[in-house]
């Protein structure tokens, strides 16, 4: 499959999510009850729904997106990479801006999206939050009724599985074994909610998200046995 992929026709993305509100007590009573039921499937004995509320951000029904970073390979020989992030407290606004960019990128071209664990997390999370925010889902993310070969979504974790459905390989583990610089040199995903709600440092989260996007691009190029993107060939056009 990858032999037919042109790296410059791939948009690499990553998202950062947090619980929709800063604490369990701020949820509407109905959502408190629903989170209690949802979290009951995984929380340890003796812990309450409030105790595990920090995990709510991984569920689109209880979380929200605070950053989507997107990267594109611009040149070959050597490769260069440009990243732009859509971020902020207003989820509907950032989703609208991202969707507009995505529609323009994919219009009239045979393009692909690529994310790590994108099929299980990023792609459905974005689509669900678009619906919740009463926004249209871009065609490239709308898989309803499509045949498998019509779906334009790549997933570096799925590619690494080679059909092994038992395996989960994190991005930092994959970059480590492939000799690629880790994107987790400052923070990791488990810290994002605290940095957002407690430290109010969304710029730090954006920088982390952009590192993940670059790492995903480097992993895909490694799968394709192509040269890596050097750090001096990476440009962020995000205004921070």
Q: What is the pLDDT of residues 109-140, one digit of tens each?
A: 889 999 999 999 999 999 999 999 999 999 99
- Global pTM reads 0.95
Q: Confidence band (pLDDT; 50, 70, 90) for 1?
A: low
Sheet with 234-236, strands from edge to edge, namely: 153-155, 112-115, 10-19, 63-75, 80-87, 234-236
How far CA 153 is from CA of 65, 75, 213, in Å, comes to: 19, 22, 15
> What are residue 163's phi and psi, to 5 degrees?
90, 0
What tokens does 45 get? 């004995």
145-198 residue pLDDT tens: 888 888 999 999 999 999 888 778 999 999 999 999 888 888 888 899 999 999
Q: Confidence band (pLDDT; 50, 70, 90) for 75?
A: confident
CA angle, 72 then 118 then 36, to 5°: 140
Please tell me the distance from the alpha carbon of residue 126 to that of residue 65, in angstroms, as a whole number.
Answer: 8
Q: What pLDDT does 144 receive?
A: 86
Q: Confidence band (pLDDT; 50, 70, 90) for 204?
A: very high
Residue whose tokens read 């948009």 = 11
Is residue 87 over pLDDT 70?
yes
Q: Confidence band (pLDDT; 50, 70, 90) for 239?
A: very high
28-72 residue pLDDT tens: 999 999 999 999 999 999 999 999 999 999 999 999 999 999 999
7-12 average pLDDT score: 95
Is residue 7 over pLDDT 90?
yes
Long-range contacts of 92-101 (CB under 8 A, 24+ apart): 92/133, 92/135, 94/65, 94/66, 94/67, 94/68, 95/65, 95/68, 95/126, 95/129, 95/130, 95/133, 95/135, 96/135, 98/68, 98/70, 98/126, 99/130, 99/135, 99/136, 99/137, 99/138, 101/70
C-alpha closest to that of 218 among 167, 171, 186: 171
79-90 average pLDDT score: 97
């Amino acid at each position: 499959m990858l032999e037919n992929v042109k790296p410059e026709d791939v948009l690499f993305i990553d998202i950062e999510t947090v619980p929709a509100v800063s604490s369990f007590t701020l949820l509407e009573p109905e959502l408190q009850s629903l989170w209690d039921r949802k979290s009951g499937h995984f929380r340890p004995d003796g812990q309450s729904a409030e105790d595990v509320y920090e995990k709510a951000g991984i569920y689109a029904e209880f979380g929200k997106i605070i950053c989507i970073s997107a990267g594109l390979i611009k040149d070959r020989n050597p490769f260069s990479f440009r990243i732009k992030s859509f971020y902020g407290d207003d989820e509907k606004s950032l989703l609208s801006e991202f969707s507009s960019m995505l529609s323009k990128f994919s219009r009239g071209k045979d393009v692909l999206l690529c994310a790590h664990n994108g099929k299980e997390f990023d792609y459905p999370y974005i689509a669900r939050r678009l619906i919740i925010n009463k926004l249209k889902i871009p065609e490239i993310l709308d898989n309803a009724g499509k045949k498998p070969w019509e779906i334009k979504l790549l997933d570096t974790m799925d590619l690494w599985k080679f059909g092994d459905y038992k395996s989960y390989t994190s991005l930092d583990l994959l970059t480590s074994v492939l000799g690629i610089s880790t994107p987790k040199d400052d923070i990791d995903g488990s810290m994002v909610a605290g940095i957002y709600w407690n430290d109010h440092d969304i710029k730090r989260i954006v920088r982390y998200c952009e590192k993940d996007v670059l790492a995903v691009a480097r992993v895909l190029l490694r799968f394709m046995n192509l040269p890596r993107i050097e750090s001096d060939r990476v440009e962020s056009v995000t205004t921070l």
